Structure 1
Amino acid sequence: MNVLIKKFYHLVVRILSKMITPQVIDKPHIVFMMTFPEDIKPIIKALNNSLYQKTVLTTSKQAPYLSELSDDVDVIEMTNRTLVKQIKALKSAQMIIIDNYYLLLGGYNKTSNQHIVQTWHASGALKNFGLTDHQVDVSDKAMVQQYRKVYQATDFYLVGCEQMSQCFKQSLGATEEQMLYFGLPRINKYYTADRETVKAELKDKYGITNKLALYVPTYREDKADNRAMIKLILKMFTRIYTD
């Protein structure tokens, strides 16, 4: 989507968000914008169903992951056809929780009592993203302005460590006051699981009898980079255990 199309999209969202009035809901309303179920589902499950109204904006690809929670949440698929419905939901929310970059937020006008909180999908990935991503042409002022509009919509960031907060400050222009050092929902399961039980189950499932080397790569545009890294790691471990 080029800069002009994004600019028009932001204009449409801005007009709609001014025209649409918030719906009256009898309990606090939280809207989730979900790309990665691993980030959002733990939060939904932790909320008391009787105290909160919950709505999830997501893609048709991710919607099935919410099937087990269908009685607890309203799901709106994020398409251009449902744009008005999405904005209606956002307007009635006290809190909006996001897990990714959402273009819609660059044009959306928050109400005075709304807060947007971001939980990061790439937990532990200390890398260049946002305005430090090589794909962003920082010499294109219009492009940079559009990115900034989206980033500036966020009020708070869930982080797990100081290093993570530095990434947000450098890449998204965030400040220390916006950091919530609560940890990340998607990794909570690693602290609550019985490690020995999980290890035994995995060994049994995959027939693991020898020492195991685990390589967990972060996202890369070119998957060939991962393949090259795997070959290098295998060569390194082969050398270690044969010497």
Structure 2
Amino acid sequence: MKKVIYIWLVKLVSRWKRVKNPQDIVYLMSFAGNEHLIKAFADLAKQLGRNFTVLYLPQCQAAATRLAAEGIQTVEFTDGFDFVFHKLQLVMQARLLLCDNYYAFLSGCAFDHQQTHIVQLWHANGAIKTFGWEELTTARRSAADKRRFQKVYDQFDEYLIGSKKMAQVFVQSYHVPQTRMNVIGYPRTDELFNKNWQMQVSQNIKRKHPDIIGKEIILYTPTYRENEVGKPVMNFSEDFGQFVNQLSGNQRLIIKFHPHVKSFEKQFKQQLDSDKVIWVDDFSTNDLLLVADRLITDYSSVIFDYSLLPNAKQILFYCYDYDQYAQRVGIQADFKSWIPGKMVTTTSDLIKEVQQPLEATDFTEFNQLWNTANDGHATERVLQTELKYIQK
């Protein structure tokens, strides 16, 4: 009932705050990592004499601080009365509204789609987990919840994506028409093609962590997990310590948690106290991909980025809880048919794989499927595409 009242309030206030001829550009940020695109839109807005605002959720504070330091207007928000009565107006003033996620409040916003163009950028370059209508919990939701979900999905006039494969996922997951899909490239991947960035970041990592130089680096990025009540959890398999113990003298393991479970890091640092394990707190997962010879993950979208890098050699899928995860969270039905690496479900099998000589994987077929339009120039195409809506 609270959600119903809140969305009703959003609808009422959004009608009140809606302007006749909106001019602003607004970016809704729930994930960091797309700052390159944000800066590009900020520059474009400045050239056109338009206001540009980043509305960000609290978990993006660090990224927002960096953007603010460059003169970009950033405003923190969370759902609540303060947002509805003070910050919703910023959304309703948008000629172009860029979103990186599902935002529930959008279901109540009374947009004039002839005046406001709403774009879904998403926060991942591909999909392993199910979401939207494909998410297993959706079937158990009430009819009112389902109607509210679809209202959000329907608000997006355009989905900017990097492949027809991702378009297919959105069409199925959000029940929206294929005509809204724009396979233009995923802007966040542009950085992955930047040779200067690759060299600078990898050198910085090695300078600050010289113990990785000359070693075979294995990066482990377990995905974000929640318990039954939706709170973040982080569990290693019970015998994961055996894997650490079996690493060779020339191998080093970097473990990087999802930002939402960072609070668990201290516990596991104590549990996995080994000179073969390196904890890197001063670089992002995206940065660490640049020094990884092998990537171990499970259901994380990091694979879609890693496969584009020149140093990428091997991906191993350590899915020790595959059946449980598939039944509780949901995994894309064809996952096993296109993963670009071996899937193992036991620690002993993971040990066997890592003890094998490292051989480079050819990611061409995988990238043709998921990274079709990602070539390092997506941002340029996105700006050009959205310019016509800004100048409308």
Is residue 21–residue 115 contact of structure 2 (8 Å, CA) maintained in 1?
A: no
Match in the other structure for 1:46: 40
Find the partner of 1:179 among 177, 181, 190. Answer: 181
| Cα deviation, residue 197, structure 1 | 5.0
| Cα deviation, residue 153, structure 1 | 0.9
Match in the other structure for 2:205: 202
Structure-to-structure mapping, 1:1-243, within 5 angstroms: 4-22=1-19, 28-39=23-34, 41-47=35-41, 48=43, 49-51=46-48, 52-70=50-68, 71-80=71-80, 81-111=82-112, 112-138=114-140, 140-194=142-196, 195-196=198-199, 198-206=201-209, 207-208=211-212, 209-221=214-226, 223-224=234-235, 229=318, 232=347, 234-241=350-357
Q: Cα–Cα, structure 1 residues 124 and 173, in superposed 2: closer, same or farther, change >3 Å?
A: same
SS in 2 for 1:157: strand
AA aligned opposite 1:75: V
Counterpart-to-counterpart distance in 2, 1:235 and 1:17: 56
| Cα deviation, residue 163, structure 1 | 1.2
Aligned residue-pair number: 236
Is residue 31–residue 123 contact of structure 2 (8 Å, CA) maintained in 1?
A: yes
Match in the other structure for 2:312: none
Counterpart-to-counterpart distance in 2, 1:64 and 1:187: 20
Is residue 120–residue 158 contact of structure 2 (8 Å, CA) maintained in 1?
A: yes
Match in the other structure for 2:367: none
AA aligned opposite 1:192: N
AA aligned opposite 2:67: L
Greater shift, 130-139 or 29-38, is seen at 130-139
AA aligned opposite 1:29: D
| Cα deviation, residue 12, structure 1 | 0.8
Counterpart-to-counterpart distance in 2, 1:177 and 1:17: 27
| Cα deviation, residue 238, structure 1 | 3.8
Counterpart-to-counterpart distance in 1, 2:119 and 2:76: 19
Counterpart-to-counterpart distance in 1, 2:40 and 2:14: 30
SS in 1 for 2:28: strand
Is residue 98–residue 119 contact of structure 2 (8 Å, CA) maintained in 1?
A: yes
Is residue 63–residue 77 contact of structure 1 (8 Å, CA) maintained in 2?
A: no
Is residue 95–residue 116 contact of structure 2 (8 Å, CA) maintained in 1?
A: yes
Is residue 56–residue 64 contact of structure 2 (8 Å, CA) maintained in 1?
A: no
Shift >6 Å, 4+ stretches: 225-228
1:185-205 alpha-carbon deviations (Å, 9 max, x no partner): 222211113445544443444
Counterpart-to-counterpart distance in 1, 2:199 and 2:32: 26
Normalised by the length of structure 1, the TM-score is 0.83
| Cα deviation, residue 15, structure 1 | 0.9
| Cα deviation, residue 54, structure 1 | 0.8
| Cα deviation, residue 74, structure 1 | 4.4
AA aligned opposite 1:186: R
State percent identity of aligned pairs. Answer: 28
SS in 1 for 2:33: helix
Is residue 131–residue 138 contact of structure 1 (8 Å, CA) maintained in 2?
A: no
1:85-128 alpha-carbon deviations (Å, 9 max, x no partner): 22211221101111111111001011231111011112223331
Q: Cα–Cα, structure 1 residues 137 and 5, in superposed 2: closer, same or farther, change >3 Å?
A: farther
Counterpart-to-counterpart distance in 2, 1:220 and 1:45: 31
SS in 1 for 2:123: coil
| Cα deviation, residue 162, structure 1 | 1.3
